[in-house]
Each structure stands twice: as structure tokens, then as C-alpha cells.
Amino acid sequence: MAEIQLKNVCKRWGSFIGVDNFDLTIADREFLVLLGPSGCGKTTTMRMIAGLEDATDGEIVIGDRVVNDLDPKDRDIAMVFQSYGLYPNMNVYENIRFPLKVRKVDPATHNERVMRAAAMVELEEFLHRKPAELSGGQRQRVALARAIVREPNVFLMDEPLSNLDAKLRVSTRAQIKNLQHELKVTTIYVTHDQIEAMTLADRVVVMKRGVIQQVGTPTEIYDRPANTFVAGFIGSPAMNLMDGTLAGGVFTASNVRIEGLSGPDGPVTLGFRAEDASVSASADGAEISAPVYTMELLGDATMITVRAGGAMVSVKAHKDYRIEIDETVGLSVPAHICHLFHKDTGARLEA
């Protein structure tokens, strides 16, 4: 049982606030991803859980112990670092064995446990090599094996994939997901890559400047972003956001008129996802009608971008769709795919 509770955790350096009032309960065996742009406090939050950074305020509870004053070694956690943190003077076998050795685990079990961990990440043939003789992906797997060899209560992973190339990232991502499922250990994973967050997480925490923006399942975050920051951060391309005014259920902005919305009258921000909208047959009567700014061929789709509502708005069309720049196009944006946000605070406006 390793439920983690973060009770109003804060981290301040002088007057600078790194993490502000972080309050969250992470369920046992959950895969939680902390997501946000660099400098948003996600790594600091993880380091506070690990004990590498002291919390200025608040309480961190792992299982049923308050761990604020415990050393990292007494918190029963394992961590995978962005730079792997392998010991260069030891070979792979000794690296994986190190946690068992310093924790004085019965030496008779070492070999079996190291071999099992190595097998899980397919490292058996590299056990005698030094870290310097391994590729980036192999080093990452050594770091993973070292984390799992001790079967801790909590895994912490700090952007473990960011130093790998794109292809390796996809396969290692799958491996991490599978490992977590197999080991059934509470995992906290820090990343700035929203695709990693979407694919791995049971729940995602989106952070910005030390403040939690939204907590939810990947689908919730994607389908019902809590504010314009989350809407603009999640998804590729990010959600289209247009400024305009809502009056009597009709949203108007330059080149835009969308009917059938429900919300308070006044200035609002309207968002919709590129893949939800479509190109309409004719420019007349379409919700957005504007000259094409650019057309990009993505292979599986064609992306049309126009200027509307003071922003660039992209829509995904069929992959065979072709149009010239500056030609007027009509985009169909029905009311049910639209999200309304407060113009100033950016908070979601519920219907």
C-alpha cells in the first residue's frame, strides 16, 4: 500500500515561488504524470517527494508515514533521472545491484534479483559492460532496472525519455507502461511532452508556474480542458482559441459567426480542436469563412490554416483535400464541438 498524499506543499526560494500550494492524493498503483512547460515546478514537486529538496510548507505522506524529515534512502522510493545517473566506475551488473548492496539486502538473493530486473528490460547480454560502452537507450534501461530491482513502494521518473531519439522514445515509452502494469507500483512521471502524458498516465496533472491547472484522466484533460492554458498546451496541434463576443447564444468575431451556443453574454474566448471541425462545401453559411493563410500536407490529413477571431485557426481536412493560398474557404465549426472560456481569467465556462 503506497498511497501518496501531498498536503498544501509549497516550495519557495526567497521570494520566488517554485511550487504553490500543491494538494493532491495519488492512489496506490496509480500512474500519475506531472505535465507542464519547463520551469512550472513539476520536477521540484517530484524532488520534494524524493527528499532531494525540502518542502518549505505542507506535508508529504507516503503510505501512512509523514516523510518530510526523512532522508531519501528512508522513503522507500526509486528514481530514474533524466541524465540516468549511472555509476561510471561500475559495470551494468554492479549498477543494478548497487541499491541491494547499500541497503544490505541478503547477498544470496542479489544475483537472482539482478538477473530478473535485467531480464525485464532486456539487458542480459550487456551485464559486463561499463555505462560508457552503452547507447543512450541501453543506459536508460539500466537506470530502469536499477529502479525496479529493489521493488520499492514508489517509482519517480524525471523526464526519462527526453535524451532518447524519437523512435527509441516510442518503444521505451511502451516498455515503461508495460513495466508499471506488471509491477503494480505507484508511479510519478514528470514530462513536458504531452504525448507521453496522454499515452502513459492514469491521471495527468497539468502545471503552470507552480500552480496546478487541472487534474484528470487524459481524456478529461483533452476533452474538457479547465482553462485556456490547458487547452493550448494539450493536443497537437493545440486547441484553436479565438477572442470574440457572445450575444444571445451567437459568437461573433472577425470572419466568424457561430450560432447555438449557450453562455453568458459578453466577451469570451472560444476554442475548438482542429480534428473536430471540417471544411464545408461552400464558404457561404459556414461558421468561419476566410482566405487560406497556409495549407500543410501531413500525410494522414491536410491542415488548413486561416486568420479568424484574432488568431491562427487550423482545421484538419481529408488528406486528398487541396486548396490554394488566399482562396476563400468555409470551415464548419458546429456549436457542440466548441468550448467557451472566460476572456480574462481563461477559466472554462460551463454551459
Partner 1 sequence: MAAASARRRPAPLVLLSTVFLILWLLAAAFPFLWTAWGSFKVELDFFSITDWTNALTGEATENTYGRPFTGAGYFGAWIQEDFWRAALNTGLVCFFVVCTSLTIGTLGGYALSRSSHNYVFWLLITALIFRAMPPITLVSGYLPPFFQWNLWGHLPTAIIVLVAINQPFTLWMLHSFFQKIPKDLDESARVDGCTQFEAFRFVIIPVMWPGVITTGLFSFLLAYNDFAVTAMLLNENNRTMVPKIAAFLGTTYTEGNVMFAVAASVSAVIPLFLLVMVFQRQIVSGLTAGAVKG
Per DSSP (E only), the strands in the chain are 4-13, 16-26, 31-35, 57-62, 65-66, 77-80, 154-158, 186-191, 203-208, 211-216, 240-247, 250-253, 256-258, 266-272, 278-279, 288-297, 302-308, 311-317, 328-332, 339-342
Residue choice 39, 98, 211, 254 for contact with partner 1 (CB under 8 A): 98
137 close to 164: Cβ distance less than 8 angstroms: yes
Counts for the chain of helices (H) and strands (E), in that order: 8, 20
Among 18, 36, 99, 244, binds partner 1 (CB under 8 A): 99
Q: Which stretch, 83-91, 161-169, 171-179, 228-236, contacts partner 1 (CB under 8 A)?
A: 83-91
The answer to whether residues 243 and 220 touch, using CB atoms and an 8 Å cutoff, is no
Place of cell 526567497: 14
What's the closest the beta carbon of residue 17 comes to partner 1, in angstroms? 18
Q: Which residue number, 81 or 293, has a Cβ lying nearer to partner 1?
A: 81
Give the chain's radius of gyration (CA, Å): 24
- With CB under 8 A as the rule, give the number of residues binding partner 1: 25
Binding range to partner 1, per CB under 8 A, among 46-54, 177-185, 196-204, 253-261: 46-54
Interacting residue with partner 1 among 39, 63, 72, 291 (CB under 8 A): 72
- 171: which 3 cell numbers? 518503444
- Please state the closest distance from residue 98 (CB atom) to partner 1, in A: 6
- CA gap 82, 136 in Å, rounded: 11
What is the x/- site pattern for partner 1, positions 50-69, by CB under 8 A?
A: xxx-----------------
Name the minimum Å distance from CB 235 to partner 1.
32
Rounded Cα–Cα distance for residues 321 and 331 (Å): 13
Binding of partner 1 by 141 (CB under 8 A) = no
Q: Binding to partner 1 by residue 162, rule CB under 8 A?
A: no
331 belongs to the binding site for partner 1 (CB under 8 A): no
Told to check if 110 binds partner 1 by CB under 8 A, we report: no
- If the CB atoms of residues 84 and 272 are measured against partner 1, the closer one turns out to be 84
Residue 132 within binding range of partner 1, rule CB under 8 A: no
- Name the DSSP class of 56: S
Q: Judged by CB under 8 A, which of 102, 108, 132, 166 binds partner 1?
A: 102
- Smallest separation, CB 91 to partner 1 (Å): 13
Quickly list H helices, 52-193.
92-102, 110-120, 136-148, 166-183
CA separation for the pair 113, 110 (Å, rounded): 5
CB 157, min distance to partner 1, A: 12
Choose, by CB under 8 A, the member of 25, 83, 217, 219 that binds partner 1.
Answer: 83
What are residue 77's DSSP bridge partners? 154
Q: Which residues bind partner 1 (CB under 8 A)?
A: 50-52, 71-73, 77-79, 81-89, 98-99, 102-103, 146, 150, 156
